Structure 1
Amino acid sequence: MDRLSTQGLFDPLRLPCGTVLKNRLAKSAMSDSLGDGRGGPTDAQIRLYERWANGGVALSIIGEVQGTPDFPEKPGNLVLDARSDQQRFETLARRGSSNAASLWLQLGHAGAMADAQISNPKGPSALEVPGLTCGALSPDEIASLPAAFARTAGRAKALGFGGVEIHAAHGFLLSQFLSPLFNTRTDDYGGSLDNRMRLTLETVAAVRRAVGPDFPVGLKLNATDQLDGGFQQDEALDVIAALDQTGLDLIDISGGTYFPGAPSSSERAGSGPYFVDFADRARTKTTIPLMVTGGFKTFEQADAAIRDGKADIIGLARALIVDPDLPDKWRNGTARSPSFPRFDRPPEGGVTAWYTMQMTRIANAKPALRPDALVRAIADYEARDEDRGKIWTKHFDSLQA
């Protein structure tokens, strides 16, 4: 039976820790690739999150913020550690939370999916498959991870960010531990689902201890990684049930993985939200507020998910790239759906490159990219990664010298 809600998209949401979000629309975590190559925020990145805040979102989440430079997803990732430029991070926190928005950092660790050009990828288990080679984390390395996530969370709180989200989705480290395809360990962190979720639960507990009871802590979890033999929906529901008593303030439901050759949720065809039905099932496992991310393209879709009681907050990604003012337009009734670009047979990863470069244009107040600029966007995206990869290597190697 549907659980109808009296809440709408523009009603506030009180999180269990007491923080109140002004509405039910969030800019979900994306890899904006706008770091300076040394792990620091750029002026463009600061402007981008200020722009989204001024467009009316209640919450923005900065994707893949690393606690160390050892396992980055991209050389444009932020790194928040003891050597970071605290003033730059404080500026990002302050300006990204304008207009009563809340700005959170997503606590990232790419693990086996770390950029091999600037790191030494390691995951739960050693793998050597087409497009991916990685080593296995040692027991001591695994034991150190919850405290590492917790240190980054504590720094985020001290610098003025509104909350943190632990990344356990999309094929990154904690998601790798959950997946039997990545995780073939035979110790306490592999085998049964209880063992595979152990690191995630330990990380949530460590982060909560570090930031105290009044600071928002969320977690992003796959409904499924959409791979045969991988992490499946029934397992995800069991993980959600285990998370119910951990003191989380938000579970952000998404899906898919960046495993080489795997289908991407964000590039799949379809006109509707991807994970609303799963979220409805998750309602039976937890009282923690649910954020649902993926595939929302119209006001009606987002509003229905809230009013039907299937979601507490809606995560928007590409919709806010094509229209950063979409929340205000939905609130004022001046628009119902953004106009998404259409691409003719884009190469794998090409659409992601286009949207990433479009974020740069938003940050620099430049006209939107045309869909027929896809080839140029891919070239610019790859060139920027190459340039920042050189900066990353030179900078972090010098710190270790």
Structure 2
Amino acid sequence: MAAGVFEGLRLPCGLVLKNRIAKSAMSDSLGDGRGAPTAEQGRLYARWAEGGLGLAVIGEVQVSPHYAEKPGNLVLNAGADLAAFRALARQGGGNGAQIWPQLGHAGALAYGPISAPVGPSALDLPGLRCGEMGAAEIAALPAEFAASAARSQEAGFGGVQIHAAHGFLLSQFLSPLFNKRVDGYGGPIENRMRLLLEVIEAVRGAVGPAFAIGVKLNSSDQLEGGLAEAEALQVIAALDRSSVDLIDISGGTYFPGAKAASDSGGRGPYFMGFARQARRRTSKPLMLTGGFKTRAQAEEALASGVVDVVGMARALVLAPDLPEQWRAGRMPAPEFPRFAETPEGGVTAWYTMRMSDLAEERAPEGARDIGDAMRDYAARDAARAEIWRRHFL
């Protein structure tokens, strides 16, 4: 138990995480195509809760069905099936775990077959086209996030995470690569972070002081012309003055042709240097996501005093009971697959379909071929997109 891996953490709002291990957000694409959780998704989060997690974050829960990242996303709007969300909250909140929806809006990266992508500014680039959001659309966003947060609270979740990383809408506003506006939401970083701060303020007003609010933030976009570390640190300083309870640091942007940090094959954790700088600018609890694979890495990060929560994703897909394994002194690291080839999107597809195997309690013989995973993932997206169009459009 060195480095406090299994020590509780009290967040500023008063909520207590039972340990310092979090399942960071992943797009599991296990929604039913109508924005509602499925029984399979509930089983997946129940497995993680039973495996000993302190916190699980449900990736890509949309505040609007019109700008989703994938047709398997959940949607927490006025038409949401709250009974299904309550069931997911109960299952994922078993064994003392916390489970939070990650509230987001894909913006320019919205899935084309079910949306007309929009962003801070119009873009016409190879593989990325979007329209520009109008002033009225921007003004409506804080209330949309607030309404989804209130529904999360009503459904029994203990908190929400506001998604401002990885190139989705709030991240796009922060990034000079996406944001070319000349009004009060563009130009200097003080303007580009305005929408994020307005969303946080609206969410807090909707849920009250005892409900947890997290924010996921890029340390940088890892792209030329994107958000750089110096400006990200200015955002950290602003978040320190806000009512957020947990800042989740990550990095990288889903931009056409860009390689995700998690696909780089480098040694993790990836953003520890930035976290050290962030620690000097905030007293808020910090979560670090990206590249944690071993117990030794987690303990070292926590022992440094820089990081308060270790965010893991793929390691917990490979071993959903990893926290309990660590507690018992077993499995210092799961066995990660090695791929002979990694076509763009292939590794993500492989792990997404591995989550489906866990959710459906399948035990496939041997490792799934990455090409098969990509085909299965695409076929499921196509089927769910048709359901989505019939339901929402």
TM-score bin (small chain): over 0.9
Residue 250 in structure 1 maps to residue 246 in structure 2: yes
3-state DSSP class of the match of 2:385?
Answer: helix
- In the alignment, residue 286 of structure 1 is paired with which amino acid? T
3-state DSSP class of the match of 1:82?
Answer: coil
- In the alignment, residue 333 of structure 2 is paired with which amino acid? S
Structure 1 vs Structure 2 CA RMSD: 1.0
Which of 278, 281, 291 is equivalent to 1:295? Answer: 291
Q: Deviations over 1:158-214 (max 9, x none)?
A: 110111000000000000000001000000000111010000111111111111111
Change (3 A) 1:369 1:391: farther
CA contact (8 A) 1:343 1:372 kept: no
Residue 19 in structure 1 maps to residue 15 in structure 2: yes
Change (3 A) 1:333 1:227: same
Which of 312, 315, 319 is equivalent to 2:315? Answer: 319
- In the alignment, residue 274 of structure 1 is paired with which amino acid? Y
Q: Deviations over 1:79-110 (max 9, x none)?
A: 11121111111100111100000000000100
3-state DSSP class of the match of 1:338?
Answer: coil
- 1:258-277 equivalences in 2 (<5 Å): 258-277=254-273
Q: Deviations over 1:355-392 (max 9, x none)?
A: 00000001111115744511111110000000000010
Q: Which residue of 2 aligns with 1:74?
A: 70
Residue 62 in structure 1 maps to residue 64 in structure 2: no
Q: How many residues align?
A: 392
3-state DSSP class of the match of 1:171?
Answer: coil
CA contact (8 A) 2:3 2:300 kept: no
Q: Deviations over 1:309-357 (max 9, x none)?
A: 1200000000000100101111111110110000012210001000000
Task: Please give the alpha-carbon distance, in whole angstroms, between the structure 2 residues aligned to 1:302 and 1:137.
Answer: 41
Q: Deviations over 1:212-232 (max 9, x none)?
A: 111000000000110011101
Which of 340, 343, 346 is equivalent to 2:342? Answer: 346
Unaligned runs of 5+ in 2: none
Task: Please give the alpha-carbon distance, in whole angstroms, between the structure 1 residues aligned to 2:364 and 2:10.
Answer: 35
Q: Deviations over 1:254-303 (max 9, x none)?
A: 00011111121110111220011111110010000000000001100011
3-state DSSP class of the match of 2:75?
Answer: coil
Q: Which residue of 2 aligns with 1:196?
A: 192
Which of 362, 367, 374 is equivalent to 2:370? Answer: 374
TM-score normalised over the length of structure 2: 0.98
Residue 236 in structure 1 maps to residue 196 in structure 2: no
Q: Which residue of 1 aligns with 2:389?
A: 393
**Between the two proteins, what is the percent identity of the paired residues?**
60
- In the alignment, residue 327 of structure 2 is paired with which amino acid? R
Q: Which residue of 1 aligns with 2:153?
A: 157
Q: Deviations over 1:141-166 (max 9, x none)?
A: 00110111000000000110111000
Task: Please give the alpha-carbon distance, in whole angstroms, between the structure 1 residues aligned to 2:21 and 2:366.
Answer: 26
Q: Which residue of 2 aligns with 1:207?
A: 203
Residue 30 in structure 1 maps to residue 26 in structure 2: yes
3-state DSSP class of the match of 1:65?
Answer: strand
Task: Please give the alpha-carbon distance, in whole angstroms, between the structure 2 residues aligned to 1:17 and 1:120.
Answer: 37
Task: Please give the alpha-carbon distance, in whole angstroms, between the structure 1 residues aligned to 2:298 and 2:265.
Answer: 18
CA contact (8 A) 2:350 2:368 kept: no
